[in-house]
Amino acid sequence: MENRPWVFGFEDRDKVKACVGENWDAVRGLLGGKGANLAEMARIGLPVPHGFTISTEACNTFLAAGGTFPKGMWEEVLAALARVEEKTGKRFGGKENPLLVSCRSGAKFSMPGMMDTVLNIGLNSQTVEAMIRLTNDPRFVFDAYRRLIQMFGSVVMGIPDEPFEAVIASARRSAGVVNDNELSADHWQDVIKQFKVIYRRHTTHDFPEDPLKQLKMGIEAVFKSWNGKRAVDYRQAAGIANDLGTAVSIVTMVFGNLGEDSATGVAMTRNGSTGEKQLEGDYLTNAQGEDVVAGIRMTKDLSQLKTEMPAIYTEFERIAHLLENHYREMQDMEFTIERGKLWMLQTRDGKRTAQAAVRIAVDMVEEGLIDRKTAVLRVQPDHVDFFLHPQFDPAAIASAKLLARGLNVSPGAAVGQIAFDADMAAAWAKHEGKAVIMVRPETKPDDVHGMLAAEGILTSRGGRTSHAALVARQFGKPAVVGASTITLDLTKREMIVGERTIHEGEWISIDGTAGIVYEGQLATMVPDIKDSWLIKLLSWADDFRTLGVRANADYPRDAQRALDYGAEGIGLCRSEHMFFETDRLPHVQKMIMTDFPVERREALAALLPYQRADFAGLFRVMGGRPVIIRLIDPPLHEFLPDLVELVSELADLKIRLKHARDMAAIDALLSEIRQKEQLRKRAQSLREANPMLGLRGVRLGIYIPELTTMQVRAIFEAACMVTKEGTPVQPEIMIPLTSHVNELIRQRDVLEAEAKTVMTEQDVDIAYQFGTMIELPRAALTADRIAEHAEFFSFGTNDLTQTTFGISRDDAESGFLVEYMEGGILPANPFATLDRDGVGQLIDMAVKKGRSTKPGLECGICGEHGGDPQSIALCHELGLTYVSCSPFRVPIARLAAAHAALREKEQKPV
């Protein structure tokens, strides 16, 4: 970076190329998204105001130095400013034809509204007079000046917005008008006087008259805003690195508030909610850009511009089409019309909902703009996750009470208690576990922490390109904006809809897909993802991925859902879950309680038909796809009543016995006490200090061999039955929690003999496999020996993480593990994302050792990590055969596996 320039004019393509080459990602890293795109629009001949960009490297150097400009940077700024003066014929601070500029933030990745901007820099008492002479419009000039003082005071000096807004509100009341644009020049002059008093009261010095001082302080403020709370919160939620820094673009001001032939707006080349190929946006005549996104004035739909300014609309439509084709991506554009002249102020990849992201990717392939690989990589696994968010049950909607309608800017159903500010929303959600709907007149960047904590967002003002709409789309929050029939009284903490008054803390339901607000709590349901665009995209993803995707499913209905979502088999059927059904639990408890082999066999014989029917149902649904059935795994005490409850019930029975007088009642109580006492003793004998390390898995099968023998008989009787029906089957029996190869040998010998007996009885040959679950470090360390007696490995990553870290899963949700993550001791929750350096190394070792003994050994994972994109990428890297996850995460796993394969291919040398 030595001798590298800090400042780049929009026309300085060769200078940028000399620093970072032509790689677009590197250009955006240096100039930020805004600066890079302004320069690119200027290069391809679009109408962009003259300006220059101060690099992200300057920002990082400034912050590292504790707030001092890098050596030579200010001199480069002055030189670049002189070039802008030459191009525009204006002079910064000039008394005849003054140049005004904006100072705009712009990081590599778009962070709408999270960092700071200052407009109209260069206005002072002298340039104001010059501007009035030039424009012959004192109202416009005073409006621009008051905006500078307010933005400079807020952004640069940290003065709260409220005192400024109170002055404007008072001016509107005195003038008897509703909107700011109805205030006269005299009104704005009075506002400016009051603003300067506010500025001095908060800062103890006057508003700076020197334009260069304004510019310097503005640049410093934008640099500092990179580390502002709202920017940090946003980056954390969006997964943006903290060391990128922001660039600062200094741009010649063009004005949309010079009368009815001037306007400003924000537009997207496609619908940000649905992905439909149509221009979508909002604009305001006689306004500056901040007015549109702030939601202070009711915006106009972009389609009205076609009637209001037809020539401008046609030109803008042409530019929008050009930009989308140039970037081969949906664009979000900012524009200003100054006295009939169109200016482009920004373009960037547009924020969109998950549904829109998928549709746009597929449509662009079919339009020939991108290829299938690009489309698959462009849609993120999180986008697919949003397709599975709940929707309102149609039956609930039919009887629901409608409160209001607004704009449907971010789809999905959200139910929660009303919170009228961001701090309340965050506190309720984070500390009290409440479901919250954040309700505001309009949202501001400072509200982002509350928006992220809320289930959904509702505003009474704002349009489709408002701050609330953009952030909601970015993070998949259902949102309804511009619900104008709602009146909010934030002082009384209530909202009024017609004659209905709803207080903070009451429940509402919002439908971001339809733009409707309902009273109370509506029931939701899981959506059916038969969306043609998603199905098509996932089919393309399947062509790229090499990692198989299976599902964890215990019942036929779960298996069918998994199949509908694209699962290639069942990677984990937890057979013990079937025992918890109410009609089976008595037989399980009898098996556990008895000390007599005959009674145990009777109990197991009663369970056999249930298990057989369950397995047959799975085999029928999966139709010849692999079905891995894990033999019973949890501790036996889980099937018995809670020990504390039993002791309490015994104490209660004994009190009742003490007061009983009737002999029949005494006999009944004594009998019940004996039964409860027997249960208590058995529960006490089976109780374990740490069930993870107790009598479970393969140990339980060795301890009660009849239990696992019954399960294997049920599996093979079901397999034979379904085979005779004409449906192929592929059972894989998994013996859990092996720690020593001798455990596996002992258990497998017994179970294999039972399987052969059943097949002989049924006169059917079944192709099957026996394997084991690797969930203990010792099993991973000795995997080469274990593989001699196993056809497959399945890594139980939940338990392997527990036994590797020595941390209970319960600590992931409460306790010290949360503090570890918040304090940076652990980079992530190891129960959510596989620990690469510890657990990942054990898996890698086990796979290599196992395949050294048995080449081609099938290896997969079946913990919750199987649905986590980062974990899936690691599984691909380690050469696993498949991942298995919840049916609802199968579509996510399909896409994540494709991403892993494509990225690996990109990294390999040609």
Give the residue numbers marked as catalytic: 467, 862
Give the integer Cα–Cα distance in Å for 627 and 553.
Answer: 9
Q: Which two tokens stand for residue 802?
A: 């527990």
DSSP single-letter state for residue 246: E
CA neighbor of 27 nearest in space, from 57, 61, 66, 48:
57
What is the Cα–Cα distance from 516 to 528, expressed in whole angstroms?
A: 21
Dihedral of CA atoms 209, 212, 217, 221 in degrees, nearest 10, equals: 120
User: What amino acid is encoded at 661 in this protein?
Assistant: R
Please report how the helices 185-203 and 161-175 are oriented relative to each other, as an axis angle in degrees rounded to 10: 150
Cβ atoms within 10 Å, residue 790:
26
Burial level of 643, CB count in 10 A (0-12/13-18/19+)?
middle
Q: DSSP 3-state assignment of 445?
A: helix
Residue 277 CA from chain centroid, whole number: 25
- HSE, CB side, 13 Å, CA atoms: give it for residue 237: 20
Asked if 383 contacts 365 with a C-beta cutoff of 8 angstroms, the reply is no
Cβ atoms of residues 279 and 313 within 8 Å: no
**Helix (H) or strand (E) run with residue 872 in it:** helix 869-877
Provide the angle, in degrees to the nearest 10, between the axes of the packed helices 354-366 and 532-544: 70
The C-alpha angle 119, 124, 127, rounded to 5 degrees, equals 95
Cα(469)–Cα(134) distance, integer angstroms: 38
Token representation of residue 864: 């919750």
| DSSP class per residue in 702-756 | HHSHHHHHHHHHHHHHHHHHHHHTT---EEEEEE----SHHHHHHHHHHHHHHHH
**C-alpha 34: how far from its chain's center?**
24
Residue of 290, 255, 282 lying closest to 464 (CA atoms): 282
Distance CA 123, CA 143 (A): 11
Displacement of CA 190 from its chain's centroid (Å): 47
| CB 36, CB 52: distance < 8 Å | no
Both structure tokens of 38: 């302004």
Within 398-468, strands assigned E span: 402-405, 407-410, 413-419, 436-440, 456-459
Query: Can you read off the two tokens belonging to residue 596?
Result: 């007599």
- Return the SS3 of 261: coil
Query: How many Å apart are CA 115 and CA 107, to the nearest integer?
Result: 9
| Residue 468 structure tokens | 């609330």
